[in-house]
Amino acid sequence: MTKRRGKGYKLDWKGPEVQKKFTEAVAEGFVDFALTVEKNAKAELYKGHGVVTGTLRRSIHIAQDGYNWSGDNVEPKGGGRNTKGQFTAGAPERGGKRVSALGRNGKLLLQVGSGMVYALWVEMGGQGFAGYRYLRNGLAKTKPMLRDFLKRRVERVFKKSKKK
């Protein structure tokens, strides 16, 4: 039996390039997902339900692997009390910013949270307070959308590649 070689076929292998594009697309999809978790977690906090000055809500953000959350614990800058004795806002908005999801050793990792010293207490509760579970609720609302976020980013990258 003779072996036949295919004629007229040329394979231009782009495996590493495709793998890199795919990883970048998935990473961007994770960032989209994490920003939506952040938005939904912030929506869980409102006046009378975890908000006095809004500092905790403004402190919720996404971060890369290895982020130092303790650096987030700030007093409301420019804040204080108004003429009625109520707290006023002034802490910086930390959320809404894109960061890279590509972590150490090529792993994809993002965190959503707050470094405020009382953030865990508001999330988990304690001493007769059940907690508001704002982070877990934000994640639960967004989790069903993860596949769509990833699919959208991957399709966008590979549709561009096809047109070239």
d(CA 68, CA 48): 29
Residues 129-159: tens digit of each pLDDT: 999 999 999 999 999 999 999 999 999 988 8
Mean pLDDT of 67-73: 90
Residue 104: the pLDDT is 80
Q: What is the mean pLDDT of the chain?
A: 87
* Per-residue pLDDT at 1 exceeds 70: no
Residue 68: the pLDDT is 94
Choose between 106 and 26: higher pLDDT: 26
Taking the domains of the chain in order of start, what are their residue ranges?
16-70+95-163
* pTM tops 0.85, yes or no: no
Query: Considering the chain, what percentage of its residues have pLDDT values greater than 90?
Result: 60
Mean pLDDT of 61-82: 80
DSSP per residue over 6-63, as a string? P-S------HHHHHHHHHHHHHHHHHHHHHHHHHHHHHT-EETBEESSSHHHHH-EEE
- For the CA atoms of the chain, what is the radius of gyration? 23
Residue 164: the pLDDT is 57
Q: Please, what is the Cα angle at 93 between 99 and 147, to 5 degrees?
A: 40
Query: Helix or strand or coil: residue 101?
Result: coil
